[in-house]
Amino acid sequence: MKKTIEIISRIGIFGTFLGHGIIALTNNTKWIPLLTCYGFSEQEAQHLFPFIGILDVIVAFTILIFPLRIVVVWATLWAFMTALSRPISGDSFVEFVERAANWCLPLILLLILGIPKNRSGFMKVKD
pLDDT per residue as tens digits for the range 93-109: 999 999 999 999 999 99
Cβ-based neighbours of 48, under 8 Å, separated by 6 or more: 35, 40
In what helix (H) or strand (E) does residue 77 lie, and over which residues does it extend?
Answer: helix 69-88
Condensed to tens digits (0 to 9), the pLDDT of residues 49-75 reads: 999 999 999 999 999 999 999 999 999
Specify the pTM: 0.87
Dihedral pair phi/psi, residue 45, rounded to 5°: -60, -45
Would you place residue 27 in the very low, low, confident or very high pLDDT band (cuts 50, 70, 90)?
confident
Cβ-based neighbours of 108, under 8 Å, separated by 6 or more: 5, 9
Question: Measured between alpha carbons, how far is 44 from 2 in angstroms, rounded to an integer?
Answer: 42
Report the 10 Å Cβ neighbour count for 53.
19
Question: Measured between alpha carbons, how far is 99 from 18 in angstroms, rounded to an integer?
Answer: 15
Question: Measured between alpha carbons, how far is 112 from 83 in angstroms, rounded to an integer?
Answer: 23
Question: Measured between alpha carbons, how far is 94 from 83 in angstroms, rounded to an integer?
Answer: 10
